[in-house]
Amino acid sequence: MSPSKKCKRTSPPAPLRRSARLNLQDATSRSTMPPPPPPQRGLSILSTDTEASETMLKLLRDANEIISQYAAQGRQNEDKLKPALQAFLEWLPDDGKVSIAKDILVATTDDLLHQVFFNLFTTLAVPMKTRSHAGSVKCSPHPHRLDAEEAVASTFDDPLEREKKFRDMCLRRDNYCCVVSGDMDVDKFCERGSPEGVISRDLEVAHIVPFSYVNWNTSTPLPQDSTIWEALMRCFPGIRQIGLSAETINHVFNGLTMEAPLHSSFGSFRLAFKRTDILHTYQCMTYSDFPTRNHMYLPENNIIKFKQALGAEDLPLPNPVLIDCHYRLAEILNASGMGERIDEHWRRWEDIKGSTAGHMLSPDGDTDLGCLLETALWHCVRS
């Protein structure tokens, strides 16, 4: 895949079948009403907005100019540097774009620019893409970023066992049905007497921001935990504003009930949901490596609407800020080729573990330690 070539989203073929949907009460119909018109703005405010927009455009132009001048020197994953940084500047929300552009502008050498890229690669792209894999991260080269990481670390509490409660609440809110296909959880299907016209499936509850963003195996947060949270909030400041943190990773607003194949595609950023003009209504976006068979689960018009089940109005719907974050990351990972690169390395690592049957070192001394270390630490060593 060319480093600058963007993966094209694929248009789903006609679905092979459609499941009958349960008639749910749209408890959020009132929330889909268009907001009241904003108050009339004065010329001075409009002038300020125009100046701010022009300032951001100049920042982005200057940052892209620096990116274009990068000279390759054999640094780690540097073939992804230009398309990755360009994708961040294109797809991040405006406040995230400005933050990354400023980091690029103070990178006065190619080595510093590679540090900016590698920090984003290891603290945002790898943790998001690998989900259940514990990857090492590269700290930011900027001192003020280190201060921010320490501030994030100070908010971590001891982890609590909330996984089951999280799953139960998401299932109840979503009426025990996949939010995409409408198919019902097989256990609930049997419990309800096998309702006619309803298809049952094995369902899973997916985290939007991965559960692996919290390290549950230690009593105190590791340094890399605060580093990846700082990177996430730097690129997506809205996440901090809605209150997502290590303590709220299992909040129901960070979850979706999905069929197992769709959960896999969603977690690997082959499937994302793009917001529309209607609140809690999204367009299903699929990418070139989305399994063709999974198109059968998508609605005919490619549009889904999140609804609360009758009696579950107290449980908030998936937060639009988090859904938008996932969608933008899907665009970044696919446009830059970073997603494909991460998948390649993890497949190599899984192949090595499988070929050694769980034993990393051969008793006869034939183990290629260089290859083993290179594969295991590919995302840790910058040069």
Phi, psi of 285 (to 5 degrees): -110, 120
> What are residue 272's DSSP bridge partners?
285
Q: What is the pLDDT of residue 163?
A: 85
Is 127:339 a contact under the CB 8 Å cutoff? Answer: no
> What are residue 257's DSSP bridge partners?
205
Give the predicted TM-score (pTM) of the model: 0.75
275: left (phi over 0), alpha (psi -120 to 50) or beta: beta
**DSSP class of 382:** -
Residues 6+ apart with CB under 8 A from 348: 375
Q: What is the pLDDT of residue 142?
A: 54
Q: What is the pLDDT of residue 354?
A: 59
**DSSP class of 295:** G
Mean pLDDT by 10 residues, the chain (383 residues): 48 45 43 45 56 88 98 94 98 97 97 97 89 40 54 46 88 98 97 96 95 55 71 95 91 97 95 98 96 96 98 98 98 95 73 56 54 49 45
Q: What is the pLDDT of residue 52?
A: 76
The structure tokens 């609605």 sit at 299
Q: Where are the alpha helices (DSSP H) in the chain?
A: 43-68, 81-91, 94-105, 110-120, 126-130, 143-153, 163-173, 186-191, 223-235, 237-241, 260-267, 320-336, 338-355, 369-376
Is 303:276 a contact under the CB 8 Å cutoff? Answer: yes
3-state secondary structure of 113: helix
The structure tokens 């499941």 sit at 19
Domain map (residue ranges) of the chain? 53-376
Is 248:156 a contact under the CB 8 Å cutoff? Answer: no
Nearest alpha-carbon partner for 307 in 176, 163, 206: 176
Nearest alpha-carbon partner for 233 in 224, 242, 220, 221: 242
Nearest alpha-carbon partner for 97 in 87, 107, 106: 87
